[in-house]
Structure 1
Amino acid sequence: MTAASAPERTVLVDRFGRRARDLRISLTQACTLRCRYCMPAEGLPIMPREELLSTAEVVRLVDVAVDALGITELRLTGGEPLVRRDLEALIGEIRARHRDLPIALTTNGLGLARRAAGLAAAGLTRVNVSMDTVDEDRFAAVTRRDRLPDVIAGIDAAAAAGLVPVKVNAVALRETLDGAPDLLRWCLDRGLSLRFIEAMPLDAEGTWTEDAYVTAADVLAVLGAHFELEPVGREDAGAPAERWRVDGGPGTVGVIASMSRSFCGACDRTRITAEGRVRPCLFSDDEIDLRAILRSGGDDAALADAWRAVTWRKSPGHLPAEILSHPRRSMGAIGG
């Protein structure tokens, strides 16, 4: 497909030939933590319930994505998706309609201990848990909440419920960098898949700077002083994490170099915010409102056409770190 070609009717593709297969839907921008690289101390403004996509609306958008646009993977995000009391019902509805669709959840883990079994029974496939450190004091400083034991309990419950492989996402930060080897050892001992992620200028307080962020090279240098790392590449072309085998394996560690080693050329993601706006790229403010089409009586064809149109306009990639500016929305308002 060339840049001049019209988008295919049965897939979600941009003018650079990249096909979106991975759908991420944010269910809320509310969160139970206040991570400094994501949320302000007071949290994001409370979104009225009527502005959020309902269970039925989320399910319908998933139907359109899978049946009309060729989406093959779904991830539910936030904010913190576990604040949605209807989460099990929502997952159950999607699973009943799409028996083979992988359904993943990105969560901070708070409350996961009591819900993991129910989520698995509803049809959830696996979870990613955000945890930047296994040091309780540093965890409390980064998240502004002293809840590390609860996160660990959630990870243990997810593994026990069969939501595997359980992946741990750690944002690489200056204040936790020297503890990266401890976090990796902790994950390896439990059979968890750890991925370090470069912090992006998507924080609500706008404090990210090029000089302060931790790069993939920084993380690998610290880990390399404690472990033997052997590069093994990505799981597939669209996967964001470059992986290294640790001490000969079988365990691996991933690094998502979103700022220093852009992988935009292989991007296969499309995102829907909690209020129903398609956002083809984290760093682009070009959005289209699917909720308005849903609530004005638009049919599935109208939803698919609008989704294709905004995806077709997707940029080739984000700007270099030295000139990249903060988008209007923070990560908590976009959905991870």
Structure 2
Amino acid sequence: MEEVLVGIEAAVSEGFQRVKLNCVIRKHRNHDEVCDLVRFALDHGTDLSFIEEMPLGVVGDHERAEAYYASDQIRRDLSEQFDLIPTTERTGGPARYWRVAGCAQQIGFIAPHSHNFCGDCNRVRVTAEGRLLLCLGQGLSTDLRRSLRAKPGDDARVKRAIVRAMSIKPRGHDFALSEQSVLFRHMNATGG
């Protein structure tokens, strides 16, 4: 924990613009800390996004449905201590942003369960192994590493592979709280 705090302080003190913290909120684990997290973000000049837990990988310490904490509930919790103002700002990703009155930092909400965002999602991710993942909740991907290694320096070849992959990007993630995940890929192996 101390290393994380030192890293945040270092990023802020070095002048990185728009440092953003992500936090997965789970009922009976950390849902009672959302106001403290917003205060931390405001005190340190960082943005903060709250994320509903996504059913990726195998978890053994809890049932996802039992630990689910909706973004709407987080906003209700925050409204007890903060004046939240919705914004029209968009990053092209799934977050919907709010601001605390009088503050510049964004408070984002990523709600794959309670406010499915698939229709607006334009995000893809590249794994450390060079796979272009087309959706966090689906297994579809394409191997960019193969394109890169087949003809090094041929950017057009890689671009064609990406364009082809985007044509099969799924329309939705099919997340279900009550079902076991069929994707055994954890977020720490997914890429950003």
TM interval, short-chain normalised: 0.7 to 0.9
Q: Does the alignment pair 1:315 with 2:170?
A: yes
Deviations 1:279-309 (A, max 9, x none): 1111121122121232233643332222222
Contact 1:200 1:208 in 2 (8 A): no
Relative to structure 1, the CA distance from residue 301 to residue 245 in structure 2 (aligned partners, 3 Å threshold; closer, same or farther) is closer
Relative to structure 1, the CA distance from residue 302 to residue 192 in structure 2 (aligned partners, 3 Å threshold; closer, same or farther) is closer
Relative to structure 1, the CA distance from residue 249 to residue 291 in structure 2 (aligned partners, 3 Å threshold; closer, same or farther) is closer
Contact 1:270 1:281 in 2 (8 A): yes
Alignment of 1:115-194 (within 5 A): 148-174=1-27, 175-194=29-48
Relative to structure 1, the CA distance from residue 167 to residue 276 in structure 2 (aligned partners, 3 Å threshold; closer, same or farther) is same
The corresponding residue for 2:188 is 332
**Distance in 1 between residues matched to 2:19 and 2:38, nearest whole Å:** 14
Name the amino acid aligned to 2:30. Answer: T
The corresponding residue for 1:225 is 80
**Distance in 2 between residues matched to 1:330 and 1:219, nearest whole Å:** 24
Relative to structure 1, the CA distance from residue 301 to residue 323 in structure 2 (aligned partners, 3 Å threshold; closer, same or farther) is farther
**Distance in 1 between residues matched to 2:69 and 2:109, nearest whole Å:** 11
SS at match of 1:261: coil
The corresponding residue for 2:137 is 283
Name the amino acid aligned to 2:73. Answer: D
**Distance in 2 between residues matched to 1:166 and 1:306, nearest whole Å:** 32
Contact 2:135 2:169 in 1 (8 A): yes
Deviation (angstroms), 1:212: 2.2
Contact 2:64 2:178 in 1 (8 A): no
Q: Does the alignment pair 1:214 with 2:75?
A: no
Deviation (angstroms), 1:224: 1.5
Percent identity reads 40
Relative to structure 1, the CA distance from residue 274 to residue 208 in structure 2 (aligned partners, 3 Å threshold; closer, same or farther) is farther
Aligned length: 188
Root mean square deviation of aligned Cα: 2.3
Deviations 1:262-285 (A, max 9, x none): 111121222211111111111121
**Distance in 1 between residues matched to 2:141 and 2:93, nearest whole Å:** 24
**Distance in 2 between residues matched to 1:295 and 1:250, nearest whole Å:** 44
**Distance in 2 between residues matched to 1:270 and 1:173, nearest whole Å:** 25
Relative to structure 1, the CA distance from residue 161 to residue 286 in structure 2 (aligned partners, 3 Å threshold; closer, same or farther) is same
Report the TM-score when normalising by structure 1.
0.51
Q: Does the alignment pair 1:262 with 2:132?
A: no
**Distance in 1 between residues matched to 2:127 and 2:106, nearest whole Å:** 32
Report the TM-score when normalising by structure 2.
0.85
Deviation (angstroms), 1:185: 1.0
Report which of the two structures shows the higher radius of gyration computed on alpha carbons. 1
**Distance in 2 between residues matched to 1:269 and 1:252, nearest whole Å:** 20
The corresponding residue for 2:98 is 244
Contact 1:230 1:248 in 2 (8 A): no
**Distance in 2 between residues matched to 1:246 and 1:309, nearest whole Å:** 41
Deviation (angstroms), 1:204: 4.0
Deviation (angstroms), 1:156: 1.1
Contact 2:82 2:100 in 1 (8 A): yes
Relative to structure 1, the CA distance from residue 335 to residue 315 in structure 2 (aligned partners, 3 Å threshold; closer, same or farther) is same
Name the amino acid aligned to 1:331. Answer: M
